[in-house]
Amino acid sequence: MRIRRQRAAAALLALVFFFGRIVLAQEAVQKLGEIDTSYYTPPESTEPYSNSNTAGPIRNVILLIGDGMGLSETTLAHLIAGGAVGKLHLERLPVTGIVWTNASDTLVTDSAAASTALAGGVRTKKGVIGLSPEGGRVLTLSEAAKQKGMATGLVVTSSITDATPAGFVAHVPSRRDEIDIALDMRKSGTDILLGGGRSYWIPESVPGGKRKDGRDLIAELEALGYGIPRNAEELAVAKESKLLGLFENDALTTLPPEPSLASMTAKAIEILAKNKKGFFLMVEGSEIDFAGHKHDSGEVVRQTLLFDMAVKTAMEFAEKDGLTLVIVIADHETGGLVLIDGKLSGKDMEVTWTTKYHTPTPVMLYAFGPGSLAFTGVEHHVDVSRKIAQALGITDFPRVTSGAKTIEELATSTKR
């Protein structure tokens, strides 16, 4: 009797589970069928960009990172935007690679360890920014480029102090130290900083401010000659050679009237390209990851297509310029997105999500321009970073300056 009751309960549970999944899939179908892609301009051609100058000199590097953008995410965006026959702009980059993402301590990475690997060529622990597992300071591509006289920029849709941009200029034991990350960014001399996260730059006495040290880092950079655009209109007409544009207290909404990722990328390139010694620019589509964590398939499509518009902008410059290496990559996949079924037209897509966190499956890399052929094959984030350094003639890379304290000691000390 008891066993029979248990069996009945198990059968009931299985039924609930089974129909629950069908309902989930149906919701996804409905949402994806209704998704608006009017902000997106698909490529006029599905041909690969002509890679006529792979051996020539390299002046500039544009590294575009889709946070949480695995192959399922790009495939879904591809299908919704143009059906199976279409192509994303990023899929037109002629050289491709497959990139492992694991951290030093775990198979499944996070944006902090991945960014440290991509920016500094060193595997570190999850959550750590710009430090080796032993607490040593990791020189980043952005810092090395600055030392060579290149101009540098970070353009994101998250807070500018979030893990991915932080990994390019900051050195802190925890990605949560955004107050300290803002200080490192202010000191880094980065020419262009565009995105969200104003809160971490202004004193807590000001509405939205979070700084307990009372400093107004925005005013400090303004005093150093930085232009401070406050909205899309001011950004469009900004002429200063250095810009700090933080358009929300936290992450951007990625909706008008905010400047789009593509328009921020265009402005960054316009200004950075004036530097005769070249530039290093990192652009992040930060919120593909946010959508993955929320299991919001429609939002994954929107964020991936917004990111693809930034890739289009970068490629328009790189094709004309001929001296720019463009790399499109992800830091990891988020949500374990699986495409189950749908039509060749991209209609009636059925998808499911398999985890609330990231997955360890390697991500795609797409490359164009001088030096791009070196990026084909199966590699790790640290190899990508090391190859970019080599392409730019940055020697002695990766470079770790041994730290006096371990990460654990750094994390518990009040003064770094």
Binding site for Zn ion (CB under 5 A): 67, 111, 289, 331
Among 72, 104, 111, 263, the one annotated catalytic: 111
* Neighbour count for residue 219 (Cβ, 10 Å): 14
Within 10 angstroms of residue 354's Cβ, the number of other Cβ atoms is 10
**Nearest Cα residue to 61 out of 141, 179, 169:** 141
For every residue of 249-266, DSSP letters joined together read SSS---STTSPPHHHHHH
| Choice between 130 and 278, CB closer to Zn ion | 130
* Min dist. Cβ of residue 111 to Zn ion (A): 3
Nearer to Zn ion, 111 or 199 (CB): 111
User: What is the CB neighbour count within 10 angstroms for residue 236?
Assistant: 12
Residue nearer to Zn ion on the CB measure, 37 or 361 = 361
| Pairwise CA distance, residues 226 & 221, whole Å | 6
Instruction: Give the nearest distance from C-beta 19 to Zn ion in angstroms.
Output: 33
Nearer to Zn ion, 60 or 158 (CB): 158
Active-site residue 111, yes or no? yes
Of residues 117 and 238, the one with the C-beta less far from Zn ion: 117
Radius of gyration of the chain from Cα atoms? Answer: 22
Q: Shortest Cβ distance from residue 163 to Zn ion (Å)? A: 7
Residue number, 287 or 308, with CB nearest to Zn ion: 287
CB of 154 to Zn ion, least distance (A): 15
Q: Shortest gap between Cβ of 121 and Zn ion (angstroms)?
A: 18
Compute the distance between CA of residue 138 and CA of residue 132 in angstroms, rounded to an integer: 6
Q: How far is the CB of 101 from Zn ion (least distance, A)?
A: 9
Q: Which residue is nearest to Zn ion (CB)?
A: 111
Supply φ then ψ for residue 138, to 5 degrees: -95, 120
Residue spans of alpha helices (H) in 135-230: 141-147, 163-166, 178-188, 217-223
CA distance 298 to 168: 30
**Number of other CB atoms surrounding residue 39 within 10 Å:** 14
Integer Cα distance of 251 and 317 in angstroms = 27
Q: 208 with 202: CB under 8 angstroms?
A: yes
Q: Any idea which residues carry the catalytic annotation?
A: 111
